[in-house]
A and B are shown apart, each in its own frame.
Chain A
Amino acid sequence: MSRNARRVFGGVTLVLLAITAVLALWVSPADKEQGDAMRLLYLHVPTAWLAYLAFFVTALASALWLWPRTRSTTWDLLAGASAEVGVLFTGLMLMLGSLWGRPIWGTWWEWDARLTTTAVLFFLYLGYLALRRTADTSEQRGKRCAIAALIAFADVPIVHFSVNWWQTLHQTGTVFNPKLDVQIHGTMAVTLLLSVLSFTMLYVCLTLSRLRLAELEEGREQRELELAIAERIAAEHPEPAVTV
């Protein structure tokens, strides 16, 4: 994207986010059953969707890096950028879900399959980010991180499956009673749709910016390394070395 296109896209995203906020907080009505706590869902739903989208992008980019024909540092950096934004959204989603659950379910946390899987997901990718930060060279980082990302992604369904099973075998009275099924229509539906759209655009903005930053920093490191090598060679050979 060119500089101007980026600016326009970013500007539109901000405007849409502002409209979403107005719709979500003032225009849309309070839910009959849940009251105003329902407004938290306008943030919870898009963050949840983006968390999963971000980790899917990470897995896809990792696979593309591993595939020899499409190998490029950009894929590796994109995987990292997307995972970082994904962890941010996962954290927000857990926080929002907890804030919503407290008044509606009467508890901050429920050991429900989706919640538990998401919490495990959060830690899986936190570990992935820690791994990314510690690798020394970009070649060293690429393969380890790509494989770790794919394993983490493949682990998610297994975790979900096992937690789900645990919860159905040990049924302790479900918290989802049918009364809480939100009747979505009219303003609420529009707000939710707009919210998902604007947050998806925000995700694109953040991920692309993070990718650009990673690329710039990678380039700077490369330049500094070359500079340091040149200085070292110059120091060891006072005579100007013959360039080969």
Chain B
Amino acid sequence: MDHNWGYVAAGYGITTGALLVYGGWLWNRLRRAQQSATDGD
């Protein structure tokens, strides 16, 4: 039986990375948008 941990690490790594990048981008933009929304009012 092959273990193939390399593939598993790549899969989990890329998934986590992509979700973190997207989530972080969303978080930042959201914070900035919320700030400018309260500034404008």
Residues in A lying within 8 Å of B, measured CB to CB: 21, 25, 30, 32-33, 35-37, 39-40, 43-44, 47, 88, 91-92, 95-96, 99-100, 102-103, 202, 206, 209-210, 212-213, 216-217, 219-220, 223
Contacts and interface: CB of A to CB of B under 8 A. Distances in A.
A25 B2 CA distance: 16
Contact of A35 (B1, B19, B22, B33): B1
Interface of B: 1-5, 7-8, 10-12, 14-15, 18-19, 22-23, 26-27, 29-30, 33-34, 36-37, 40
Contact of A99 (B10, B34, B36): B10
A33 B2 CA distance: 9
A153 B26 CA distance: 26
Contact of A91 (B1, B7, B11, B18): B18
B3 A35 contact: yes
A100 B37 contact: no
A91 B12 CA distance: 14
Contact of B37 (A37, A40, A43, A220): A220
A156 B8 CA distance: 30
